[in-house]
Amino acid sequence: MTPFTSAYLPPVEWYAAMVASGCHDLDRRCRYSRQRNVNRCTILMPDGPQTLTIPLVAESTHATVGDLRISDHGRWRAHHWNALQTAYGKSPFFEYYADDFRPFYTDHWTCLADFNEALHATVCRLLDITTLPRPTTAQAPVAIQPYYQVFMQRIGFKPGMSIVDLLFNMGPEGIFILLGREL
């Protein structure tokens, strides 16, 4: 099984594909590309999707994901945590999971791949992904069914949001969305 590229709180669809593949490992050896979500995630704010970007120290075109270093430029940690609170503070499960995520925005991290892997491990633990049986045959990618989102009444369902959107809105039932099961 090929590991998935390290990513910053990747979309729900990324996690659904990962669960379907049975591979929970992240690849830090692949070449860095700005087109990948290695240092970007998209969350759902009251007015629509917003991209959060972790600043990097002078990335090279030859750098691997494991080579990337996080910059402390622009108080990004406080900005990202405030954005998560604004976006999901009124969601059903934000308060329940906030203590699991807050340290990622208060503690200092140097290596982006280490940061992403620690976040990934937290998401997998909270959704109980690590205990899922690995499939014995290849599966088609899971189509994500709409799930509850805080601002759904105002702006409709928005696919492609970060895994925290699913986690903060659906809690432990989010795993059923990733598995393509009816709620």
Burial class (CB in 10 A: 0-12, 13-18, 19+), 141: exposed
Phi first, then psi: give them for residue 27, nearest 5 degrees. Answer: -95, 120
pLDDT value for 24? 77
Phi first, then psi: give them for residue 69, nearest 5 degrees. Answer: -115, 140
**Sign (positive/negative) of CA torsion 129, 130, 132, 134?**
positive
CA distances from 180 to 3, 12, 112 (A): 21, 11, 30
pLDDT value for 10? 95
pTM as predicted: 0.90
Residue 182 CB neighbours (<10 A)? 6
How many domains are there within the chain? Answer: 1
Domain with 112 in it: 4-178
| Joined tokens for residue 119 | 């976040």
Whether 32 maps to a domain, the answer reads yes
Whether 23 maps to a domain, the answer reads yes
Contacts of 107 (CB under 8 A, 6+ apart): none
Whether 183 maps to a domain, the answer reads no
Whether 164 maps to a domain, the answer reads yes
In tens digits, the chain (183 residues) has pLDDT values of: 667 888 999 999 999 999 988 887 888 888 777 667 899 999 999 999 999 999 999 766 678 889 999 998 889 999 999 999 999 999 999 999 999 999 999 999 999 999 999 999 999 999 999 766 555 444 555 689 999 999 999 999 999 999 999 999 999 999 999 999 877
pLDDT value for 160? 96
pLDDT value for 99? 98
pLDDT value for 21? 86
